[in-house]
Amino acid sequence: MKPLPQSVLFCCDHNAVRSPMAEGLMKKFYGAGTYVQSAGVRNDLEIDGFCVAVCEELGVEIARHRSRSFEEMEEMGEVLSSFDVVVALSERSRDLAARQTQGFHTDLEYWPIMDPTAKGEGREAKLDAYRAARDQIIAQITAHWGDPEEHEHR
């Protein structure tokens, strides 16, 4: 298990499902001890309603999330190489992040999280797909940085 990094950037294709879930979960689990952001290769989609719903089930509020691209992030003065850890949740974001952090002391990790957007017919089946993606993210976060409850007592 690794110590909590000072800063983490989660990224995926659109910053509308996987990376906002990861950002919200990380903040909920470990509080303000780590600076956490998220971005996408593009920001052509708004936050996904199913994503919001399955996070709310765990008390994680992400409804106000505004999607942003790597490019917009940099325009706002945040560069990928300034993060201690960049966690790519999709192949496309991993490839772009690898190019943008090359030569810098940024740890790039790839967690292939399932894209739930095309899965399931009907509301319940869709929610189940989103829960599965959410639970994959939780498993990765806790495998890397430990049980959130243990951090509360440190």
pLDDT, one tens digit per residue, over 66-104 is: 899 989 988 988 888 889 999 999 999 999 999 988 888
Asked whether 119 and 126 are in contact (CB, 8 A), the reply is: yes
Longest dimension (CA), the chain: 46
Number of domains in the chain: 1
The pTM assigned to this predicted structure is 0.92
In a domain, 30, yes or no: yes
**What per-residue string of b and e applies to 8-45 under the rule 16 or more CB within 10 Å gives b?**
bbbbbbbbbbbbbbbbbbbbbbbeeebebbbbbbbbee
pLDDT, one tens digit per residue, over 31-48 is: 888 999 999 998 887 888
- The answer, yes or no, to whether residue 151 has pLDDT greater than 70, is no
In a domain, 12, yes or no: yes
> Can you give the pLDDT at residue 105?
84
> Can you give the pLDDT at residue 154?
47
The CATH number of residue 141's host domain is 3.40.50.2300
In a domain, 107, yes or no: yes
- The answer, yes or no, to whether residue 121 has pLDDT greater than 60, is yes
User: What does the pLDDT average to over 111-123?
Assistant: 90
In a domain, 2, yes or no: no
In a domain, 51, yes or no: yes
Domain extent for 66: 7-152
